[in-house]
Amino acid sequence: HTWGPIFRDMRDQAPVNKFTNAPYGTFWNVTTLKAIQHVEALPKIFSSEWSNGGMVIHDPDMSDPLSAARGSNFLAMDPPDHTPRRRTVAPAFTPAEMIRLSEVVRQRTGEVLDSLPVGEEFDWVQKVSIELTTGMLATIFDFPWAHRQVLPFWSDWMSDIQVGLSKELNDMRMEVMVEMGTCMMSLWEERQNAPEAPDLLSRMIHSDAMSGMEPGEFISNMALLIVGGNDTTRNTMSGIVEALHRFPEERAKLEADPSLIPNAVQECIRYITPVAHMRRTAMEDYELEGQLIRKGDKVVLWYVSGNRDDSIFDEPDRLIVDRPNARRHVSFGYGVHRCVGARLAEMQLRILIEELIARNMRPRVTGQAERLKQIFIHGFRKVEVTIDKA
C-alpha cells in the first residue's frame, strides 16, 4: 500500500496534523486509533451534521438541493435528531434478526460458491462479492429481486466522493440519484399503503420517528443504507480472498481450527478497512494531541491509519487470524455513529469463510487484483482468482 508509510510517518511524528491547500481544502488528519476514538466520543464538539460539513472529506455544495437531499440521512445528523432515526433502523440488525437471516445467507452463500468454476480464472468481485451483498440488500429491503443489480450500480456512484471534484461527473451522479429516488419513492408509496412488514423499508415508513420524512430525507437514508450494506461488506469479501492468498499460513490456521473464524472476521475487517475515513467539523476550539483545532475546522479520521496503529496492534501490516485484540479496530466507527449494520456484515463474512473452509475451497489470486481509485471506500474493483479443490 503506497499510503502505509505515509500514515506510519504521521503516527510517529505528528499524529494530528494539518494539511493546507489540498484538493479537498484545508483539514486536520487524525491518524492514531486512540485519537480517532477520542474525537468520535465527542459528537457535541465534533459534528457530523451535513449543514456543518457532513461526514466525508469533500465539502458539500450547500446551494444544490439534490446535494442537500444526499446529506439528510441519519449518519449526517448529530444527536438528538440522529437518535430516534437510528433506533428505528436498529431492530433490523438485532441478534435475533441475525439468527433469522443466517439461514438465508448460508443457503445463498452455498449456492453462489457451488456455482463457481473450478480450475478456471474468474473475477471474485463480480461472481461472489457483488452477488452476495446485492442479494442481502434485496432481502432486507424486500427490493424486487429481478432488478437487484441496480443496487451496486447506485452504490458505486454515491460512494465515489472524487466525483464531486468534476462538475460533469457530479451532474451524472445526480442523474443516477434521481433515478434511484424515483424507484425508491415508488416503493415508498407501495409500502405506505400496505400493512407494516418486517423489511427495513416498511419499518422506516411505519415508524413514529421516520414516517414524516420529506422525500429528500427518505432517499438520502436509503442511499446511506445501500452504500453501507453494499460497499463495506462487498469490499471486505473481496479483500478476504486477497488477504488469505497473501498470507497462506493464516488460511492454514482456519482450516486446522474453524473455531478461529469469528475472530478472523474481525481481523479481516481490521486489515482490509473498507471505509478509509470519516470527517467531522469542530463546533468549538479544542486541543487534541497538543494541536489547537479551531471552531469550524474540518477534521478527517483516517480509519485506514488507526487500524494499522502499531501502538495498539503488533505487526499491524500482517493478517493474523488469531490476533487477540482484533476487535479493537475502528472499521465500523466508534460511539454514537458506530455502524448500525455491523452485526449483519460480520455474519455474512463469517458464513462466507465457514462455507469456503467447509468446501475446502482455496481461491488463488492468479490475475489482476485491481484496487478502487477512491479516497472514501477502500477496496477492490477486480480480483481475478482460480479455485483449486484441496
pLDDT tens per residue, range 214-250 = 888 888 888 888 888 888 899 999 999 999 999 999 9
- Residue-wise pLDDT for 148-192, tens only, equals 999 988 888 887 766 666 778 778 878 888 899 899 999 999 999
Give the tens place of pLDDT for each residue, 293-316. 999 999 999 999 999 999 999 999
Highest mean pLDDT among 82-86, 115-119, 213-217: 115-119
**What's the confidence (pLDDT) of residue 123?**
98
Instruction: Say whether pLDDT at 70 is over 60.
Output: no
User: pLDDT grade, residue 198 (50/70/90)?
Assistant: confident
Question: Does 65 score more than 80 pLDDT?
Answer: no
Share of the chain above pLDDT 90, in %: 69
Average pLDDT over residues 325-350: 97
Domain range for 210: 3-389
Angle between helices 131-141 and 95-114 (to 10 degrees): 140
Residue 212 pLDDT class (50, 70, 90 cuts)? confident
Give the CATH number, domain containing residue 168. 1.10.630.10
Q: How confident is the model at residue 78 (pLDDT cuts 50, 70, 90)?
A: very high
Higher pLDDT, 215 or 69: 215
Tell me: the pLDDT tens digits for 13-52? 999 999 998 889 999 999 999 999 999 999 999 999 998 9
Give pLDDT, residue 29: 99
Q: What is the pLDDT of residue 91?
A: 86
Q: For position 64, what pLDDT does the model report? A: 63
How many domains are there within the chain?
Answer: 1
pLDDT at 345: 96
Asked if pLDDT for residue 208 goes beyond 70, the answer is yes
Mean pLDDT of the chain: 92
Question: What percentage of the chain reaches a pLDDT higher than 70?
Answer: 95
d(C-alpha 157, C-alpha 152), whole Å: 9
Question: Is 70 in contact with 174 (CB distance < 8 Å)?
Answer: no
